[in-house]
A and B are shown apart, each in its own frame.
Chain A
Amino acid sequence: MYFEDFLPVIMFGLLACGLFTGFPVAFVVGGVGIAFGFIGMHYDVFSMIEFFNVPERIWGGAAENPVLVAVPCFIFMGTMLERSGVAEDLLKILELLLKRVPGGLALAVTAMGTIMAATTGIIGASVVMMSLMALPAMLRAGYQKELATGTIAASATLGILIPPSIMLVIMADLLAISVGNLFVGAILPGLLLSSLYFVYIIVRSSIQPHIAPRIADDQMVDNKTLMIMVLKGFVPPVILIVMVLGSIFGGIATPTEAAGVGAFGSLMLAVFNGRLNFQNMKDVCERTALTTGMIFFIFIGATTFSYVFRSLGGEHLIIAGVEYLGLNSWGLLVILMFTIFILGFFFDFLEITLIILPVFAPVVEVMDFGVHVEGRDIIYWFAILVAVNLQTSFLTPPFGFALFYLKGVAPKIVKMQHIYKGIIPFVMLQLIGLASVMAFPGLALYLPSVLLS
């Protein structure tokens, strides 16, 4: 072995160090790529001419790619629903609808997380939005701080799994699988998780009613007003989400088309609510552009990185390393899942899907699970496992960074210990969900096989 054979390893090490300086991920990843291109040239394992392939890759991967057009559209839709107050109204109505059930307010937050999973596409933003909307109301109603924060963190991160999830769009694109299939596959695992939350909240608040007091009677609304509110604030957004997902699942529209319709629909809802003005529109467009620019700069940087990494023999090195370990596919899967779980402590899903996934993809392709999961299905199953795994990771103390965002927004009376204590039951539920999808791949694979065969 020569020194230059280990360049990919050093490259990865330097990337990790660079990321921890806190300089933007997109630039670090691209900069490390360029630097190792030049280092590779010095050792004659890379040539200048190879750099010329990078714009081609960027172009084919990020620009001339109809699938990714869905990304800005979904971001626009989520931002518009939030800015135009549609999301907030929906939460209020859910609260009123669920007021008679034990833990109604917490259930409303979970239902909201399930329905509005689209939001803005970044975990931090979803957690901040959910906390601002729900936390004051829950604390004012006398909810236990642990239960309130746990529910909010868990429900706000559901968005990475439940379609239309931006992470699933990007993952499907990178793994060269169908976005529609992956969306359909994520439905059951997503619903499984949110029903686990539901059951937990109901059981817990029935046993200990004092941690989740019911809404006082003076805040009740008569049935007629409630009906009008449901018709105005609940039905339209739910129809919108059902339409977007339904048209993908029914094979009527591609995810890109559905995303466009969703964006248009969110605009219509804002008009309908009388909350669309120039200032709002400008704000939503600019926010969408900021998030899109951020996502795609990482995309561009990661393309450069993985091109150089592969060219220096990184992929080869990983496969050789995996063979050296001599594990069977289950052992490999556990190692990959554990690695992703640990990475999720420090990085958002964007870094993990865009940088790590392309590196792991060749390993996934050689996996074999016999009759447990067959052939092409493995990659769909794997993608969903990664999504559930990442969500769990974002919630796990002491790092789980959804918790830090929550702490950042929360009033001072909410201490980090409350958040840590409150999230533990939810992490347990997540692990049950993850184990179920692992043990019963049908959860992820049954719906696509029925709906899209």
Chain B
Amino acid sequence: MRKLLEIADVCEWFPQKAGKLGAWLIVPLIIVIMYDITTRKLQFIQQAVLNSPLYEYISPTKLQEWEWHLHTALFLLALGYAYCNNAHVRVDLIREKCKDRTQAWIEFFGILLALFPYCLVIGIISLRFIELSYASGEISQSMTGLSQRWIIKSFLFIGLLLALLAGFATLLRHIVFLFGPAHLRDDVPMNMLTTAESAHLPRIEDEDLNREDDDPIVTSS
């Protein structure tokens, strides 16, 4: 049983790492948008860029395609990461009133009946989708766009695979929690439970209200 938890940690490492690294893609995304705007909207810069040899490599069409490439990679890499960190929206009306064990059962069946089938079916189908793109040598529909469309399309498969791994890790932990020996139960990281959620929600305490206002703005100005 302890072994299962170790396997879960290994499985979770991939989506966590991919999501955290992928998160930085927002930086190049902002840079690309800014570069694109300044070189297109400001006349004198536009002239300078148009005449430079760089233009061939970074035309506006290419840049705009880079924008959605980065965006797509960013959100696909985050699919599993969001599940590991329990960032997916839930309708918590009934669930939060259930006992921990009931909640664990819900998660257990949810993963088996919804998450796994979904990621598996769409993931496997997406392989064919990527293969088609690769075999036909799909490139951008505009003349000066990016080529090798299959590379970004593979992220669909990678993203769903990461989500599957995140689901698998959570499933293993729930198995230990539900069927494992009692002494192991406390060691299982169960961040999906509503009790765990509310534990790290910020909260204003009654005592905070008695404290005098330590107006930080006056000191900072």
A residues near B (Cβ < 8 Å) are: 18-28, 30-35, 37, 51-52, 54-56, 58-59, 62-66, 68-69, 71-73, 76, 89, 92-93, 122, 128, 131-132, 135-137, 139-140, 219, 221, 225, 228-229, 232-233, 252-253, 256-257, 259-261, 263-264, 267, 282, 285-286, 288-298, 300-301, 304, 346-348, 350-351, 408-413
Query: Do A233 and B208 contact each other (CB < 8 Å), given the known contacts A23-B107, A28-B114?
Result: no
Chain B residue with minimal CB distance to A30? B118
Q: Which residues of chain B come closer than 8 Å to A348, judged between CB atoms?
A: 89
Nearest Cβ on chain A to B146's Cβ, whole angstroms: 11
CA distance A247 to B184 in the complex (A): 58
Indicate which residue in B19, B33, B204 contacts A293 across the interface (CB closer than 8 Å): B19
Q: Are A253 and B74 in contact (CB under 8 A)?
A: no
Give me 6 other A-B pairs in contact (C-beta within 8 A), A55-B126, A253-B41, A289-B22 excluded. A37-B121, A58-B122, A72-B26, A73-B33, A264-B34, A411-B206
Indicate which residue in A22, A54, A285 contacts B95 across the interface (CB closer than 8 Å): A22
Query: Do A293 and B81 contact each other (CB < 8 Å), given the known contacts A26-B89, A63-B156?
Result: yes
Judged by DSSP, the binding face of A is helix
Q: Which residues of chain A come closer than 8 Å to B79, judged between CB atoms?
A: 293, 296-297, 300
Nearest Cβ on chain B to A268's Cβ, whole angstroms: 11
CA distance A33 to B119 in the complex (A): 12
13 A/B residue pairs, CB under 8 Å, sorted by A = A23-B90, A23-B110, A27-B88, A28-B110, A62-B72, A72-B75, A253-B37, A264-B34, A289-B22, A293-B79, A295-B75, A346-B93, A411-B209
CA distance A140 to B207 in the complex (A): 11
Chain B residue with minimal CB distance to A24? B88
- Those of B23-68 within 8 Å (CB) of chain A: 23-24, 26-27, 29-30, 33-34, 36-37, 41, 64, 67-68
CA distance A89 to B218 in the complex (A): 10
Q: Are B78 and A257 in contact (CB under 8 A)?
A: no
Chain B residue with minimal CB distance to A283? B23
B residues near A (Cβ < 8 Å) are: 19-20, 22-24, 26-27, 29-30, 33-34, 36-37, 41, 64, 67-68, 71-72, 74-79, 81-83, 85, 87-96, 98, 103, 106-107, 110-111, 113-115, 117-118, 121-122, 125-126, 128-129, 152-153, 156, 163, 198, 201-206, 208-209, 213, 215-218, 220-221
Query: Do A413 and B91 contact each other (CB < 8 Å), given the known contacts A23-B110, A54-B125, A72-B74?
Result: no
CA distance A264 to B217 in the complex (A): 24
Q: Which residues of chain A come closer than 8 Å to B216, judged between CB atoms?
A: 92
Q: Are B91 and A286 in contact (CB under 8 A)?
A: no
CA distance A197 to B206 in the complex (A): 28
The 4 closest A-B pairs by CB, nearest first: A22-B95, A31-B114, A293-B78, A260-B33
CA distance A260 to B29 in the complex (A): 8
Q: Which residues of chain B come closer than 8 Å to A137, judged between CB atoms?
A: 213
Q: Are A55 and B206 in contact (CB under 8 A)?
A: no
Q: Are B33 and A289 in contact (CB under 8 A)?
A: no
Q: Are A76 and B204 in contact (CB under 8 A)?
A: no
Q: Are B82 and A54 in contact (CB under 8 A)?
A: no
CA distance A426 to B78 in the complex (A): 37
Q: Are A35 and B217 in contact (CB under 8 A)?
A: no
CA distance A257 to B32 in the complex (A): 10
Q: Are B26 and A59 in contact (CB under 8 A)?
A: no
Indicate which residue in A22, A30, A73 contacts B96 across the interface (CB closer than 8 Å): A22
Q: Are B209 and A347 in contact (CB under 8 A)?
A: no
Q: Which residues of chain B come closer than 8 Å to A128, judged between CB atoms?
A: 201-202
Q: Which residues of chain A come closer than 8 Å to B93, judged between CB atoms?
A: 20, 22, 346
Chain A residue with minimal CB distance to B90? A22
Indicate which residue in A66, A228, A252, A346 contacts B91 across the interface (CB closer than 8 Å): A346
Q: Are B201 and A294 in contact (CB under 8 A)?
A: no
Q: Are A27 and B221 in contact (CB under 8 A)?
A: no
Chain A residue with minimal CB distance to B128? A52
CA distance A20 to B74 in the complex (A): 29
Q: Which residues of chain A come closer than 8 Å to B95, judged between CB atoms?
A: 21-22
Q: Are B114 and A18 in contact (CB under 8 A)?
A: yes
Q: Are A30 and B122 in contact (CB under 8 A)?
A: yes
Q: Are B156 and A260 in contact (CB under 8 A)?
A: no
CA distance A146 to B151 in the complex (A): 55
CA distance A52 to B122 in the complex (A): 8
Chain A residue with minimal CB distance to B210? A140
